[in-house]
Amino acid sequence: MKKYIVLLFISLLGFAQQTPAPKQNKSILIIGAKAHLGNGEVIENSLISIIDGKIATIGDATLMKPAKHDIIIEAAGKHVYPGFIAPNSTLGLVEIDAVRASDDESEIGEFNPHVRSIIAYNTESVVTETTRPNGVLLAQITPRGGRISGTSSIVQLDAWNWEDAIIKENDGIHLNWPRSYSRTGWWAEPGGIEANKNYEPQIKTIQDYFDNAFAYLNTKNSKKDIPFEAMKGIQNGEKKLYIHVNGEKEIIDAVLFKKKNNIKNMVIVGGYYAFKVATLLKENNVAVLLKRVHDLPLLEDEDVNLPYKNAKLLVDAGVLVGLENAGDMERMQTRNLPFYAGTCAAWGLSKEQALQLITENTAKILGIDNQYGTLESGKSATLFISEGDPLEMKTNVISFAFIDGRQISLQSHHTELYERYKGKFEQQKK
């Protein structure tokens, strides 16, 4: 059996990532598309000039006279969007779950702030290239496991190596908050819910670790402690603290932890019951990267549609919200990120509000909104042209995509299989 797994691994590695696009060396003009800026605004008939990887000009084509460009893309009847952003992702950290050598998403130990996911990021992952034809062009590469999983970094998804891919290195530390309860049984025969007797001691262990780390950072030490060194920047806001938590009580305790430790930038990841304490989150400037939308309720007596409504409940309360995709088959399902936003639009948000969940809002949460997340003059030309609405499976057909002005390949193993079997059925018709 092991022999066949190794052969499968080798055969999959034989299908390598598409060659990264070279640096933009010709000016590009996109004319006539409906531009969805990612901030809630729309330009019906747009003109977008891309020079040296940046958006040089964007505006109404009827009011502007374009300068001469090397490449002109006539996009009347089509749509332009900023590249979608996948936060809390393990793209490039695991290729084949059954092959341990290809799994780099977690390390042993409980407190690993010094573990940097970026150095394990594989730019040649065949999974990563399946996200780009759906407009997902950026991702936050995030470790898993332990109480403190490690440090994430943000990348663009068309690069030769992890150094080339980096947009923002070591953006934040990820803390898995303990649960105040535990479930008994298993999925086929679920039991009841019991209180976690170790909940308070587990929180104390976290607090003790932070106390020791901050004490270390505030004194001169002859001996360097690498994990504590990695905690530098959490108190002053240079790094974000991402707390992975879903329960109402746990979210309240996480906010109290933020206040007690004077942590400037904290983000709730998951946040299934965040809507119950939305006022508290807004008052404390805590954003939420919301749990996967295409999911079942956590409790059997809840509204079955709650996962779909969750984003609107938080947006209406004034909380900054983005969408994340952690869970089963999370790397393969990253390509579905725009459809999660589409579901949020079907359950109360406008299409432009839903778009913000995977563009501007996520860029703000990750701290990259100065260059990404919206279509604006001076920002990175990371965008794509779609034949229709990319938040809908049926009309999400992307014809062009650019990362930092570089026109990237939209080919993948999926598209190769499509063309192969399309040819087969065309042969059968003859």
Average pLDDT on 319-342 reads 95
Q: Mean pLDDT, the chain, as a whole number?
A: 91
The rounded distance, in Å, linking the Cα atoms of 44 and 33 is 7
Average pLDDT on 202-224 reads 93
Q: Which two tokens stand for residue 135?
A: 């407009």
Average pLDDT on 390-418 reads 90
Instruction: Check residue 1 and give its pLDDT.
Output: 39
Q: pTM to 2 decimals?
A: 0.92
Is there a contact between 87 and 366 (Cβ–Cβ < 8 Å)?
Answer: yes
- Tell me where in the chain the CATH 2.30.40.10 domain(s) lie: 19-83+374-410
| Crossing angle for the helix pair 337-346 and 306-316, to the nearest 10 degrees | 80
- Reported as a pLDDT band with limits 50, 70 and 90, residue 14 is very low
Instruction: Check residue 52 and give its pLDDT.
Output: 96
State whether residue 323 is helix, strand or coil: strand
The rounded distance, in Å, linking the Cα atoms of 42 and 296 is 33
Which tens digit of pLDDT belongs to each residue from 25-43?
999 999 999 999 999 999 9
Name the residue with higher pLDDT: 420 or 308. 308
CATH assignment of 19-83+374-410, among 2.30.40.10, 1.10.3720.10, 2.60.40.1180, 3.30.70.870: 2.30.40.10
Average pLDDT on 406-416 reads 86
Instruction: Check residue 373 and give its pLDDT.
Output: 97
Is there a contact between 340 and 322 (Cβ–Cβ < 8 Å)?
Answer: no
The rounded distance, in Å, linking the Cα atoms of 325 and 408 is 24
Average pLDDT on 47-66 reads 94
CATH number of 87-372: 3.20.20.140
Instruction: Check residue 345 and give its pLDDT.
Output: 97
Quick count: other Cβ atoms within 10 Å of Cβ 169? 14
Query: What DSSP character marks residue 112?
Result: -
Is there a contact between 405 and 154 (Cβ–Cβ < 8 Å)?
Answer: no
Q: For the stretch 277-311, what's the b/e string if a residue is b when 16 or more beta carbons lie within 10 angstroms of its beta carbon?
A: bbeebeeeebbbbbbbbeeeeeeeeeeeebbbbbb
Asked whether residue 129 carries a pLDDT value surpassing 80, the answer given is: yes
Phi-psi region of 64 (alpha: psi -120 to 50; beta: other; left: phi over 0): beta
Quick count: other Cβ atoms within 10 Å of Cβ 231? 24
Tokens 């800026």, residue located: 37
Instruction: Check residue 185 and give its pLDDT.
Output: 76
State whether residue 322 is helix, strand or coil: strand
Instruction: Check residue 187 and give its pLDDT.
Output: 65
Average pLDDT on 408-412 reads 88
Instruction: Check residue 12 and give its pLDDT.
Output: 40
The rounded distance, in Å, linking the Cα atoms of 358 and 373 is 8
Phi, psi (deg, nearest 5) at residue 265: -120, 110
- Tell me where in the chain the CATH 3.20.20.140 domain(s) lie: 87-372
The rounded distance, in Å, linking the Cα atoms of 253 and 248 is 9
Q: Which two tokens stand for residue 423?
A: 């040819």
- Name the nearest CA neighbour of 131 among 343, 322, 325: 325
Asked whether residue 11 carries a pLDDT value surpassing 60, the answer given is: no
The rounded distance, in Å, linking the Cα atoms of 149 and 143 is 6
The rounded distance, in Å, linking the Cα atoms of 103 and 244 is 21
| Crossing angle for the helix pair 199-217 and 248-260, to the nearest 10 degrees | 20
Name the residue with higher pLDDT: 104 or 155. 155
- Name the nearest CA neighbour of 114 among 242, 231, 227: 227
Residues 6+ positions from 237 with CB-CB distance below 8 Å: 263, 264, 265
74, β-bridge pairs: 31
Strands 136-141 and 148-156: antiparallel
Which tens digit of pLDDT belongs to each residue from 346-386?
999 999 999 999 999 999 999 999 999 999 999 999 999 99
State whether residue 183 is helix, strand or coil: strand
Q: Residues in the chain, how many?
A: 430
What separation in angstroms does the CA of 36 have from each of 136, 158, 160, 266, 352? 15, 23, 30, 29, 8
Average pLDDT on 294-311 reads 92
Asked whether residue 16 carries a pLDDT value surpassing 60, the answer given is: no
Burial class (CB in 10 A: 0-12, 13-18, 19+), 335: buried
172, β-bridge pairs: 152, 240
Angle of CA points 105, 297, 307, to nearest 5°: 80
Average pLDDT on 197-210 reads 96
Average pLDDT on 46-59 reads 96
Which tens digit of pLDDT belongs to each residue from 72-122?
999 999 999 999 999 999 999 988 877 877 888 889 999 999 999 999 999
Is there a contact between 220 and 271 (Cβ–Cβ < 8 Å)?
Answer: no
Could you please report the per-residue DSSP string of 243-294? EEE-SHHHHHHHHHHHHHTT-S-EEEEE-TTGGGGHHHHHHTT-EEEE--SS
Which tens digit of pLDDT belongs to each residue from 269-289?
999 999 999 999 999 999 999
